[in-house]
Structure 1
């Protein structure tokens, strides 16, 4: 059975596509691409179909991480049936995601990415669309994704 991970932020052009790309790179390096799939979505509709923000693309290129194929989309109620793990970037995203659940879920876990960061447990990933601090956000996402993958591997015995 495939494990499906969805990363969620507000517009799906900065944080969640960065997390998707970083996580995809870690999964590939762990040779688990046949077992774990990932995607990203936004709670808002403003950027549907657009590629990641220039700042996200720039930091990913600098780190030699591919963002090929990533395009903004809006989260929908079916995502609760299709994703094992839904990982949001902040409390506002968690609230919006919970509104879509409506009692139907195959999701085993829905929470925040920084729940997997030792220094920012339970915190929000700041939105670089507003702050411009893509490097700081990358560092937070990178370590959180490392720990998320380790947690999923333990939980799923892979």
Structure 2
């Protein structure tokens, strides 16, 4: 299947987006990169993460999120940055918001219909339909960070299947 994927596709680029780019989107990037590596597809798909705001630009991921991710074998290495509509809509094939607000903000940043077609919500790729969005764990406790990782693992599997299809 991997050879078929390489033959019929060009390199795809995915941008994961949340509000501040310190919890959900860097986690999605790490989870997805891990899945790509496990399947030997890291040269076929590239991903990054960003925030709809620049509140945390230049910062590493939230330490609590990093801690929970490490327990599952993920390393959150990205540095927070805001979405750059002029660059990101040109460079990425999929721009994936973590919740309805992120998707709404991305649509407001879109320059044209082609940009809007690239915007998706993370949970649209999930096989378990128990959540409408990836909830922001920032103001909650440990359970919130674990829930984010649970949802992202499911949705990233679905996203990978979508990219292979």
Question: What is the correspondence of 1:8-157 to structure 2 with a 5 Å cutoff?
Answer: 8-68=17-77, 70-77=78-85, 78-103=87-112, 105=114, 109-120=118-129, 123-132=132-141, 133-154=144-165
Structure 1 residue runs of 5 or longer lacking an equivalent are none
Q: Determine which structure has the larger helix proportion and give its number.
A: 2
Alignment coverage as a number of residue pairs: 153
- Partners of 1:98 and 1:5 lie apart in 2 by 16
- CA RMSD in angstroms comes to 1.7
Structure 2 residue runs of 5 or longer lacking an equivalent are 1-9
Secondary structure in 2 matching 1:38: strand
Q: Contact 2:110–2:116 (CA<8 Å) still a contact in 1? A: no
- Partners of 1:93 and 1:12 lie apart in 2 by 11
Return the offset for 1:102.
1.3
Q: Contact 1:112–1:122 (CA<8 Å) still a contact in 2? A: no
